[in-house]
A and B are shown apart, each in its own frame.
Chain A
Amino acid sequence: MAGLVTALLAVVALAAVAALGAGAGMAQVFGIYIPYVAVAIFVTGFIKKVLGWASTPVPFAIPTTGGQQYSLPWVKQAKFDNPSTPGQTFIRMALEVLCFRSLFRNTKVDNRPGEGTVGYGSDKSLWLFALIFHYCFLIVFIRHFRFFLEPVPFLVTGVEFVDSILQISVPTLYLTDVFFVVGVTFLLARRLFDSKVAYISLASDFFPLFLILAIALSGIYMRYFAKVDVIAIKQLAIGLVSFKPVIPPNVDWSFYMHFFLVCVLWAYFPFSKLMHLGGVFLSPTRNLPNNTRMVRHINPWNDPSIKPHSYADYEDDFREKMIEAGLPVDKEA
C-alpha cells in the first residue's frame, strides 16, 4: 500500500506543479525547456538501455518452446510456437508483439479441495485489457501527430476518422479515449484487488499507471471540457519540432499540465519497467529459433580451457578393475 499511496501522491504533486507553475508565468519552462530536456533524456536513455542489452552476449540459444518441434517429416511442427527458421521466428515475435500471444495462453488456477480437483481455466481478461490499453495508447499517440505535422498525413486523419466514427458530442468523441481509460482502470483494479498482484506491486508499478491515467484524464479535460485553443497548441508544437519554439498566448493551464505529465513519462521511461517496449524484442526465450541441433549457436565467451575429466585419467583411476571385468582399455596395465 505504501507504494500505491506514494505513487498517487507523486502524480498529484507533479500535476499540481505544472498547473500552478504554468499559471505563475512559467510557461516557457513547461512549454519549452522541460519538453526538450525530457525528450533528450528519453532518447538517450532508451538508446543506452537497448544498446546495453544488445551489446551483452547471448551465450546460449534458449527459446522456450511452445509446441511440437521440427522433427521427422511426418510429424507436424507447430511452426510459430516452436519455430526452427528465422522466418518462423519472425512470425512468432510478431504474434508476441502484436497479439500478445503468451498472455493469450493465460490460465487461472482453480483449486477445489472439496471436490478434490484443481483446474486451470482459460483467463483472457489480462490479455484483452492489455491489448485494449496498448492499442489505444498507440492510436492516441498517432493521433497526436496532427499537432506536430503540417500538412497532417493521411494515416493520421484516417485513424482520427475511424476513431471518431460515432460522431457523438462536440468535439467528437474519440472511442480510444474511452477505451484507453477503461484499459488503464482495469490494470489498476487488478493491482488493487487481485491479492497476488497487489502483493508483488511496487510504487514503480503504480506510478506509471497513475501517470498515464492522469495524462489521459487531463487530455480528456482539455478536449471535451476546457475546449482549449487547438490552433495555439499546434503553433507551440510545431515550434518545438522545428526548433523555433514559441509560446503563443491563449494556451490554457490544463495544456501545460497535460504536456508536463507527458514529459515526465518520457523522462521516466528509460529507467523503468516501461522499457519492456524494447525488451520484448530482445528476449532470448522468444526471439531465437529452436534449431540448435541443426545450427551451432556461438557463445563469444565459450571457454576452450574447460575440458572434461579425460578418459586417460579415468582409465588410470580404474584400469585394474576394468581389465578384471573384461572391459576394453586403451593401455594395458
Chain B
Amino acid sequence: MSKMAPPEELMNVNYSTPSEPWMDVRPEFKPGTFSYPGKPDVLKYLGLPNPRDWSPTEEDWKLPPDWRETIRDGFRELLGKYRSLKVFMDCCVRCGACADKCHFYIGSGDPKNMPVLRAELLRSIYRGEFTVAAKILGKLAGARKLEEDVVKEWFMYFYQCTQCRRCSLYCPYGIDTAEITFLARDLMNRIGLNINWILEPAANCNRTGNHLGIQPHAFKDMMDFLVDDIETVTGRRVEPSFHRKGAEILFITPSGDIFAEPGIYTFMGYLLLFDYLDLDVTWSTYASEGGNFGSFMNDKWMKKLNAKMYAEAKRLGVKYIIGGECGHMWRVLNQFMDTMNGPADFLEVPKSPITGTVFENAKSTKMIHLVEFTADLIKNGKLKLDKSRNAGITATWHDSCNTSRGMGFFDEPRYVLENVVEKFVDMPSQTIREQTFCCGGGAGLNNGEFTEMRLRGGLPRGNALKYVQEKFGVNTMSCICAIDRATLPGLADYWAPGVKVTGLHELVGNALVFEGEEERTMNLRQEDLPGLEGSEEEE
C-alpha cells in the first residue's frame, strides 16, 4: 500500500459526479481499494467453484466458461428465495435519500459507493435479464447486459460495502443495501469471485472452531497466558474450564478477543467477571468463534458455521448460552440463528443465577448478550465497582453497526459504561445509536491490503471522534465489537491520534472490586493506575 496522505488531505473529498454516465465508467483496481482474491486451496477446502490464481488488476479474471448462465440461474434462484431481493429490485425510486449516508461514499466521493448506485449495479442486470420492458428499452430504462465488466464492478463495489445498513435506515422503503450486497456476494461466489480475508477465516472457523485457525491446545495456551496476566494484575488465579459437561452456561465470544490487543483485555474482563460471580460457565474450543464469516459469503455457510453454537450447547448439556462482545456475531444471533438452527428446545430460558432475572427477550434463542447480563447485575447492585480504577479515562461510545441497526442495543452498554468510568460523553447525535457510522472494517474488509479505502470509509467515525477528543478531552473509545477492536485503533491513530480503544468488559474488569482483594496498582493493560498515590494517602 502506498503511504497514506495526511487526514487534512483525505478529508478533501471530491463529490462531483463524472461527466460520463455511470454505466460507461469502468472500475479501476488501484492498490488499497480492493481485497485480495480467495486462494485456490481455501476455495477447494470450502468446496467453492472455480479455484484458481487470479488478480483483479489483470485483464483476464479466468471466469468459468458458463459464468453468465451460472449468474442468471443463481439470480433467478435468489429472486425466488428472498422477498427482500425482489422488492428491493423493484421499488427503489432513486430518490437519493440513501446516497450520502454511506461512510464509503462520504470518505471517497465515488458515486458508485452511494448505496443506491451500488444496488443499481445489480438492479441493472435484473432489469436487463428479468423484466420485459427494460430489456427492450435497454440503457434508457437502466438495463444492461451481463458483461465481464459488470461482474468486475460487482467485485469492486460489493467488496466495498461493510453491510452496515446505515443506508437502510434512511430509505423510505427500507431498502437494505447490505442485503443486496449479501446476495450479490452469494452470486459472485458461484463463479469464483471472492476475497481471501473472508474465505480463509471461514475455512478456519469450520475446521478449528475459530477464524484465526487456533488449534485447541494453542487456544488453551493463550487462555493460560491471559490467566497469568490476570494474576499479575490482580493477584487472583482465575480458573476457566473447557468443555465441562453439565455446566450451566456456555460462553462464546469472537476469537479475536483471545488473540490480539486490545481484545485480550476484554477477554480478561470476561474471566474476571465470571470468577467474581463464581459463575457456572464453560468455554469451548470447538465453538470458539462468535463471529460468523459465513454471513459475508452466503446463507449456506452462515448457517453451517453458526450451527456449532447450538451443537456444542447440546453436547455439553448447558442450560443456555451467553455471547460476548461482537457485532456481526450479534446480527446473526439476533436475526438469523433461531431461524437457521433452532428451535433450541434442549435449552432453558436464560435466567441470571445471581439476580434471578429471566431474560424474556431471549426466550426462544436462549442466548443472551453478556452486556445484558452485566447491566442487570449492576442494576441489581451485585457488582462492587470502583470507577477510580479507570480514572483518567474520558470515554466515548462507539455503537457497532450490527448491534445498532440489526438489534437496537444502545442503553444497556451505555449503562454499564457509565457505571465503570468517571467521565463519559457521546459523539454528535447524528453519528451514534441507530445513525452510527461504521468502523470501515465490517463484512470481511478488515484486511491489510484494503487499509487505504477503509481509512477513507473511517472518515465519518474518525471525524466525530476527533470532535469529542478536541472538545471534551475524550481519550478512550469503548465498543462491543471484535472487528471494531481490531479496526478502530488504526482508525483512531489516523483520524484522532491519542485515543485508545477498549472493549466494555475490559473497563468492567478494571473496576471490579473483589472481596478482600489485594490493592491493584495496574490496570489490565499493566499500566500504572493514575492517582494511585492519592488513594494511598487517604488510607
Interface, chain A (partner B; CB < 8 A): 2-3, 6, 49, 52-54, 56-72, 74-76, 78, 81-82, 84, 96, 100, 102-103, 105-109, 111, 113, 116-120, 126, 130, 190, 194-205, 271, 273, 275-276, 279-280, 282-286, 290, 292-299, 301-303, 306-311, 314-315, 317-318, 321-322, 324-329
Min CB gap B291→A, angstroms: 15
Q: Is the Cβ of A284 less than 8 Å from the Cβ of B84?
A: yes
Compute how far the CA of A130 lies from the CA of B431 in the bound complex, rounded to whole angstroms.
Answer: 25
Cβ–Cβ < 8 Å partners of A109 in chain B: 100, 106
- Chain B interface secondary structure, helix, strand, loop or mixed? helix
Chain A residues lying within 8 Å of B365, measured Cβ to Cβ, are: 292-293
Are A69 and B169 in contact, with the CB atoms below 8 A?
A: no
| Chain A residues with CB below 8 A from B5, complex form | none
Q: Which residues of A contact B117 (CB under 8 A)?
A: 199-200
**Interface contact B311-A201, CB-CB below 8 Å:** no
Asked if residues B335 and A294 are in contact (CB atoms below 8 Å), the reply is: no
Q: B12-20, B255-263, B272-280, B474-482: which one contacts chain A?
A: B12-20
8 closest A-B pairs by CB: A69-B408, A279-B91, A285-B174, A325-B217, A308-B307, A65-B408, A120-B430, A82-B408
Q: Which of these, B142, B179, B215, B243, contacts A202 with CB under 8 Å?
A: B142
Contacts of A69 in B (CB 8 A): 361, 407-410
- B4 close to A (CB within 8 Å): no
Q: Which residues of A contact B17 (CB under 8 A)?
A: 195-196, 198-199
Q: Which of A68, A96, A311, A318 contacts B172 (CB 8 A)?
A: A96
Which residue from chain B places its CB closest to the CB of A108 in the assembled complex? B100
Complex CA–CA separation, A118 to B91 (angstroms): 31
Residues from chain B with Cβ under 8 Å of A2 in the complex: 21, 140
| Interchain CB contact under 8 A, A100 and B94 | no
Q: What B residues does A292 contact at CB under 8 A?
A: 334-336, 338-339, 364-365
Tell me whether B411 and A76 are in contact (CB under 8 A): yes
Q: Does B156 interact with chain A (Cβ within 8 Å)?
A: no
Give the shortest distance, in Å, between A102 (CB) and chain B (any CB): 5
Which B residues lie within 8 Å of A298 (CB)? 339
Given that A67-B408, A294-B361, A326-B220 are contacting pairs, would A311 and B315 also be in contact in the complex, using a CB cutoff of 8 Å?
A: yes
Residue contact A297 to B142, C-beta cutoff 8 Å: no
Q: Is the CB of A327 within 8 A of B243?
A: yes
A-B residue pairs in contact (CB < 8 Å), sample of 11: A6-B140, A63-B335, A64-B176, A68-B408, A113-B13, A200-B99, A280-B91, A294-B364, A308-B304, A314-B286, A318-B217
For the complex, give the distance between the alpha carbons of A301 and B299 in Å.
11
Q: Do A327 and B93 touch (CB < 8 A)? A: no
Does B168 lie at the interface of the complex (its beta carbon under 8 Å from any beta carbon of A)? yes
Query: Taking the complex as formed, is B391 at the interface, i.e. its CB lies under 8 A from any CB of chain A?
Result: no
Cα distance A276–B434 in the bound complex, in angstroms: 24
Given known A-B contacts A71-B361, A72-B379, A205 and B83 have beta carbons under 8 A apart: no
- On chain A, the residues within 8 Å of B336 by CB distance are 60, 292
| Closest residue on chain A to residue B7 by CB atoms | A116
List chain B residues, Cβ under 8 A from A318: 208, 215-217
In whole angstroms, what is the CA distance A199 to B83 when docked? 28
* Centre residue among A108, A111, A118, A196 by max chain B CB count within 10 A: A118
B residues bordering A, Cβ < 8 Å?
Answer: 8, 11-13, 15-18, 21-22, 79-84, 86-88, 90-97, 99-101, 106, 111, 114, 116-117, 120, 131, 133-134, 137, 140-142, 165, 168-176, 179, 206-209, 215-217, 220-221, 242-245, 285-286, 299-300, 303-305, 307-308, 311-312, 315, 333-336, 338-340, 342-343, 357, 360-365, 367, 372, 375-376, 379, 404-412, 415, 428, 430-431, 433-435, 459-460, 463-464, 466-467
The interface residues of chain A lying within 8 Å CB-to-CB of B339 are: 59-61, 292, 296-299, 302
> What is the predominant secondary structure among interface residues of chain A facing chain B?
loop
- CB within 8 Å for A293 and B334 given contacts A68-B408, A310-B311, A321-B215: yes
* Interchain CB contact under 8 A, A279 and B173: yes
Q: Establish whether residues B304 and A306, one from each chain, have CB atoms under 8 Å apart when the complex forms.
A: yes
Chain B residues, CB < 8 A from A283: 84, 87-88, 91, 173-175
Given A311-B311, A314-B209: A301 and B87 interface contact (C-beta under 8 Å): no
Contact yes or no, B8 A275, CB < 8 A: no
**Complex contact A303–B300 (CB within 8 A):** yes
Structural contact, A197 and B221, CB atoms closer than 8 A: no
How distant is the Cα of A82 from the Cα of B334 in the complex, in angstroms? 13
- Asked whether B8 lies within 8 Å of A113 as measured between CB atoms, the reply is yes
Q: When the two chains form their complex, are residues B133 and A271 in contact, meaning their CB atoms are under 8 A apart? A: yes
Known: A285-B174, A292-B338. A74 touches B299 (CB 8 A): no
Q: Which residue of A lies closest to B345 (CB)?
A: A296
Q: Choose among B81, B407, B412, B464 the residue that contacts A290 (Cβ–Cβ < 8 A).
A: B407
A219 CA to B88 CA, complexed, in Å: 34
> Looking across the interface, which residue of chain B has its beta carbon closest to that of A111?
B13
Q: A75-B412, A314-B209 are in contact. List 15 more A-B contacts (CB 8 A).
A: A64-B168, A69-B408, A113-B12, A118-B11, A119-B428, A203-B137, A279-B173, A285-B84, A285-B168, A292-B335, A292-B364, A293-B363, A298-B339, A311-B312, A321-B216
- Chain A minimum-CB-distance residue to B209: A314
B319 to chain A, nearest CB (A): 16
Whether A293 and B114, one on each chain, are in contact in the complex, defined by CB atoms closer than 8 angstroms, is no
Question: Once the chains are docked, how many angstroms separate the CA of A286 from the CA of B120?
Answer: 21
Query: What's the nearest-Cβ distance from chain A to residue B413, in Å?
Result: 11
Q: Which of A53, A102, A190, A309 contacts B207 (CB 8 A)?
A: A309
A307 to chain B, nearest CB (A): 6
Candidates B168, B206, B343; contact of A309 at CB < 8 Å? B206
**When A56-B79, A194-B96, A308-B305 are in contact, do A327 and B220 touch as well, CB less than 8 Å?**
yes
Residue of B nearest to A120 (CB): B430
A56 touches B82 (CB 8 A): yes
Tell me the minimal C-beta distance from A134 to chain B in angstroms. Answer: 10
In the bound complex, CA of A70 to CA of B408 (Å): 8
Contacts of A280 on B, CB cut-off 8 Å?
91, 172-173
Known: A116-B11, A294-B363. A311 touches B86 (CB 8 A): no
Q: Of all chain A residues, which has the CB nearest B16?
A: A195
Contact B408 A72 (CB under 8 A): no
Q: How far is the CA of A297 from the CA of B179 in the complex (A)?
A: 17
Residues of B within 8 A of A285 (CB): 84, 168, 174-176, 179
Contact of A197 among B94, B171, B364 (CB under 8 A): B94
> Please, which residue of chain A has its CB at the minimum distance from the CB of B140?
A203
Residue of A whose beta carbon sits closest to that of B91: A279
